Amino acid sequence: MMDRKKRILEILREKNEVTAKELANVFKVSEMTIYRDIKQLEKTGEIIRKHGSILLNTKENKESKTVDTCPICEKAITRSHPYKIVIEDKKTLEACCEHCGFLLHKKYEDKEVSAITYDFITENPITAFNAYFVVASSAKPCCSPSVIPFSSKEDAEKFAKGFGGKVLNFFEAYNEIVNSTNRNIKSCCQPQTIKLSDLKKGE
Ligand SMILES: [Zn+2]
Ligand SMILES: [Zn+2]
C-alpha cells in the first residue's frame, strides 16, 4: 500500500499527468483501489485532480486548474468527489451531483459505461450500480430532486428516516430522475447555474 502510493508519485514526476485507469493497469489493481490511494494522496496535499486526471500538486498544475462545469446543468463543479461516468473505457465525464449524473447516463444510455459515486457519509468510492440512493429527501446539497448515495441500504434507510425521500437502487433511482426531469432539465439547477463565458466577461 505504502509502496504503491510512492510509486504513483514517481510516475507522476515522470509523466506529470495520469488517469486512475492507467494507474489501475500499471499496478494490476481495480480503479476503486487506485481511487482510495488517490484520496489519501489528495488529503496529504501531494496531488490534485483535474478533468479526471491526476497531477502532482505543483504551483503550475494548480494554477492551470480551470473550473469544470457540469455537462448537464452547467453549474461549476465544486465537489471534491463529483459523480463520475467513464464511457467505453475512454472518456471520463463528471457531473455536479448524482441527479445530473443520472441525466448524463440517459445521454449515453446505449453506450458501455461505468460509474463511480461516493458514499454520502464515508466518502468512499462505490460503483454507482451497486449503490442505494435516497431520492427527493429534504436535504438538497445540489440539484433537486436530490439524489444521495450510500453503499449500504441500512445507512440509506436511516438517512431517509431523518430527511425523508425514497430509498431506491440504481435503476429505480435512475428511472425516477429521468422521468421526473425530462421536461426541463435545466430548471432543477437554475438558481446556481453558471456560464464560463459570463465569468470571462466579468473579468
Ligand atoms: Zn449538474
Ligand atoms: Zn447537481
> Would you give the distance in Å from CA 7 to the centre of its chain?
25
Reported for 154-162, long-range contacts at CB under 8 A and 24+ positions apart, including other chains, are: 155/119, 155/120, 155/121, 156/132, 159/120, 159/134, 160/134
How confident is residue 150, by pLDDT bands cut at 50, 70 and 90? very high
Q: pLDDT by residue (tens digit) across 41-68? A: 999 999 988 777 888 988 877 776 566 8
Dist. CA 132 → ligand 2 center (Å): 18
Q: 70 in a domain, yes or no?
A: no
Judged by its nearest atom, the ligand closest to the C-alpha of residue 147 is 2
Predicted confidence at residue 192, as pLDDT, reads 46
Q: 199 in a domain, yes or no?
A: no
| Percent of the chain with pLDDT strictly greater than 70 | 85
Q: 203 in a domain, yes or no?
A: no
Same domain, 59 and 18: yes
Predicted confidence at residue 182, as pLDDT, reads 53
Q: pLDDT by residue (tens digit) across 78-124? A: 787 889 999 998 889 999 999 999 999 999 999 999 999 999 989 89
Dist. CA 198 → ligand 2 center (Å): 20
Same domain, 117 and 45: no
Judged by its nearest atom, the ligand closest to the C-alpha of residue 76 is 1
| Domain count for the chain | 2
CA distance 161 to 197: 42
Q: Which of 147, 85, 153 is nearest to 116 (CA)?
A: 85
Q: pLDDT by residue (tens digit) across 68-89? A: 889 999 888 878 788 999 999 8
Predicted confidence at residue 128, as pLDDT, reads 96
Same domain, 88 and 17: no
Q: 69 in a domain, yes or no?
A: no
- CATH number for 159: 3.30.450.410
Same domain, 161 and 107: yes
